[in-house]
């Protein structure tokens, strides 16, 4: 099941597109895990930059203006791109890693009984 999303929006398909994109341009030589982790950090900074002077309230309306909305989507895409490329190179399944992390966090931060009953 994939919630009706186009198959080409599934992570494995995106990883293949990214790998093909780099391979056919011979960019793989730059894609050491170290460089990919650096690039991911740089893009995370570009995403944060959009919000750096905003109040918390203003940050909530960032998708209301076409220009900032496109900027945010562009940086989200860049962060995800390097995350996926790093996972491809290191043979990590990012969704499985996150599912396992949420499992661990649910044990580390149990819900108080009065809330669980709601």
Q: Is 97 in the site for a copy of itself (CB under 8 A)?
A: yes
Cα 15 to Cα 35: distance, rounded to the nearest angstrom: 17
Q: Is 117 in the site for a copy of itself (CB under 8 A)?
A: no
36 and 82 Cβ atoms separated by less than 8 Å: yes
- Residues 75-94 touching a copy of itself, rule: CB under 8 A, are 76-81, 83-84, 86-87, 89-94
Q: Is 107 in the site for a copy of itself (CB under 8 A)?
A: no
Q: Is 65 in the site for a copy of itself (CB under 8 A)?
A: no
Question: For 46-51, which contacts have Cβ atoms below 8 Å and span 24 or more sequence positions?
Answer: 46/75, 46/78, 47/72, 47/75, 47/76, 47/78, 47/79, 50/75
Least separation, in Å, of the C-beta of 108 and a copy of itself? Answer: 11
**Tokens 């390097």, located at residue:** 82
Cα 87 to Cα 32: distance, rounded to the nearest angstrom: 11
Instruction: Give the per-residue contact string, 24-53, with a copy of itself (x = CB under 8 A; - = no).
Output: xxx---x-xxxx-xxxxxxxxxxxxxxxxx
Least separation, in Å, of the C-beta of 27 and a copy of itself? Answer: 9
Q: Is 114 in the site for a copy of itself (CB under 8 A)?
A: no
């Amino acid at each position: 099941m994939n919630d009706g999303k186009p198959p080409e929006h599934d992570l494995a398909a995106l990883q293949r597109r990214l790998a093909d994109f780099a391979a056919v341009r011979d960019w793989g030589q730059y894609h050491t895990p170290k460089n990919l982790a650096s690039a991911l950090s740089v893009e995370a900074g570009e995403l944060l930059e959009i919000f750096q002077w905003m109040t918390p309230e203003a940050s909530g309306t960032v998708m209301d203006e076409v220009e900032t909305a496109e900027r945010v989507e562009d940086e989200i895409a860049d962060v995800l791109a390097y995350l996926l490329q790093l996972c491809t190179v290191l043979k990590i399944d990012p969704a499985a890693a996150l599912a396992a992390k949420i499992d661990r966090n649910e044990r580390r931060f149990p819900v108080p009984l009065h809330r669980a009953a709601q």
